[in-house]
Amino acid sequence: MSYRRMQIAVTLIISFFVAAPSFVVAGAGESATREARSSESTSTRADAARHFPPDRTLIAVFHAHRSTFERLRQMAVEDMQIQAIFSESALSDNLSEAKRQEYKSRLAEIDSHVTLTVDFDGTVRFIFQVRGDSAVGPGSLKGVEFLPKTARPGGPLRRDLDLADKWGDGIFLRPLAGRWFIFFQRTE
């Protein structure tokens, strides 16, 4: 392969990892931030993609749908051996059809683009926005997290996470209610 052809091939390959997934991410947080954007009528789609949902939006969504958050948390813990990352568009065939439908409808109740995750220690995350180019690249995410008493929090408590994307790597938490927190995570 000539040097020129190799250059073209490498550019094409990188575009699969950087350009295409970036587009996916730009859409992922759109509905998550719609409440915030509705109060900021001048916001553009690009602005919404760049900004994480403000704390006030997550607080409002959580209190408006708390029973749904609780039910989805229970379901995710029950189904941990089948799946650990749930979204409306990616539900395992190994879940029963009834369970798949319940996940879809309850996730849509909160936000049609929210991603739900579960870990061995019972930590459950509702992720409203992710920024990054690849699963193996640096990334930031913000959402609502249930942290059992026995689980390690992974980071300090803060009063406000609206500027957390400027704080550097780490996990930051803001108490919400009981064992529920707003969280922000940034990793290299």
Partner 1 sequence: MYARGSSISLSDPLGLDPAVTVTLPDGTKYVPVTYVKNSAQAAKLGVKVGTLVPIAVPPSVCPQNAVEYWRAAGPALDFYTRWSDFGHYWAPNGPHDFKIINPMYDAYGNFEFGATGVAAGFFPSTLQAIADAIHGAHNNPINTQDIASGIHAIQAGGTLGTFDYPGPR
Nearer to partner 1, 76 or 176 (CB): 76
Q: Report if residue 130 touches partner 1, rule: CB under 8 A.
A: yes
Q: Report if residue 118 touches partner 1, rule: CB under 8 A.
A: yes
Q: Report if residue 12 touches partner 1, rule: CB under 8 A.
A: yes
Q: Which of 13, 64, 157, 163 binds partner 1 (CB under 8 A)?
A: 13
Crossing angle for the helix pair 3-17 and 19-28, to the nearest 10 degrees: 10
Whether the CA torsion 130, 131, 133, 135 is positive or negative: it is: negative
- Binding to partner 1 (CB under 8 A): which residues in 96-115? 115
| Least Cβ distance, residue 67 to partner 1 (angstroms) | 24
Whether the CA torsion 109, 87, 126, 133 is positive or negative: it is: negative
* DSSP SS3 for 129: strand
| Least Cβ distance, residue 39 to partner 1 (angstroms) | 25
Q: Report if residue 152 touches partner 1, rule: CB under 8 A.
A: yes
Which of 45, 43, 44, 61 shows the shortest CA–CA distance to 142? 61
β partners of residue 117: 85, 125
Q: Report if residue 167 touches partner 1, rule: CB under 8 A.
A: no
